[in-house]
Amino acid sequence: MSQTQTDGLEVLETREWLDSLDYVLSKGGPDRAGRLLQQLALHARRAAGINLPFTATTPYQNTIPSRTQPPFPGSQEMERRIKSLVRWNALAMVIRANKIQEGIGGHISTFASAATLYEVAFNHFLHARTEEGDRDIVYFQGHAAPGIYSRAFLEGRIPKQKLENFRRELKPGGGLSSYPHPWLMEDFWEFPTVSMGLGPIQAIYHARFIKYLENRGLKKTTGGKVWAFLGDGEMDEPESLGSITLASRERLDNLIFVVNCNLQRLGSSRSWRRCSAAPAGT
């Protein structure tokens, strides 16, 4: 058989297979087509030892096709502007603190990479206290504290003087603690989340205790969630995943881990110290 005839046969076979797949899609939908392709790959491997190229893309339970995604519920332009102001204020706050006192730090890269996660959560997911007293519980990543402070400043919840005393809470007029801690800032933080790994394990047991109360009729089920914002480096800590099997075993559907995979492990402010910045919105 000539090369031309071989190429023509391959084109015809390919067309027939594609037509068959289109038929399955039209009659059985994407799920059925996906199962069929998996069976074909399994058969090829078992029958002829054909190994398809490795792919790390795996299906997730909450993955949905782009065509079924709802439109963004807010104004992307406005929310991007707010996020930029928040991120800028966090940067300016840490820079100023390090100019005043060398080496005070601030882990600025953590919030710089997680700003979108926090803004989308604040604007569209996190629920405040209801009349019944129920609400979402949030464990903020400790190294992202500058971003939470800067957003609170734009909201009018933190005065400029405290913003200028970042990591110097004992200064006259008050300041801001390095990390979330209710003992140092009882009117701002609810839970301590540093040392690393403390937030996730607290969140797991908090979500379990809420389920315990709900299942025994001691608390009304209202759909409140427990959120834990974490870093990829934090997931290396033994506390972070030490009780994760409890969450799966108890089916804690009220627990959400948001992991910021910036691949930087610990954030650092050292590379920002030569910059000059002023707070926005002042």
d(CA 137, CA 241): 19
Per DSSP, the residues of 136-167 read -EEE--GGGHHHHHHHHHHTTSS-HHHHHTBT
- How do the domains of the chain map onto residue ranges? 3-68, 77-272
> What phi and psi values does residue 138 have, to the nearest 5 degrees?
-125, 125
Domain 77-272: give its CATH code. Answer: 3.40.50.970
How crowded is residue 201: how many other Cβ atoms within 10 Å of its Cβ? 20
pLDDT digits (tens, 9 = 90+) for 177-220: 999 999 989 889 999 998 778 899 999 999 999 999 988 988 88
Q: Is the pTM of this model over 0.85?
A: no
Quick one: pLDDT band at residue 265, thresholds 50, 70, 90?
low
Confidence of residue 144 (pLDDT cuts 50, 70, 90): very high
Average pLDDT, the chain: 85
- 81-110 pLDDT, tens digit each: 999 999 999 999 999 989 888 888 888 888
Residue with tokens 């009018």: 156
What is the DSSP annotation of 55-91? ------TT---GGGPPPPSS-HHHHHHHHHHHHHHHH
> What is the C-alpha to C-alpha distance for residues 241 and 234, in angstroms, rounded to an integer?
10
* Residue 277 pLDDT > 70: no
- Between CA 246 and CA 211 the distance in angstroms is 12
The burial class, CB within 10 Å (0-12 / 13-18 / 19+), for 235 is middle
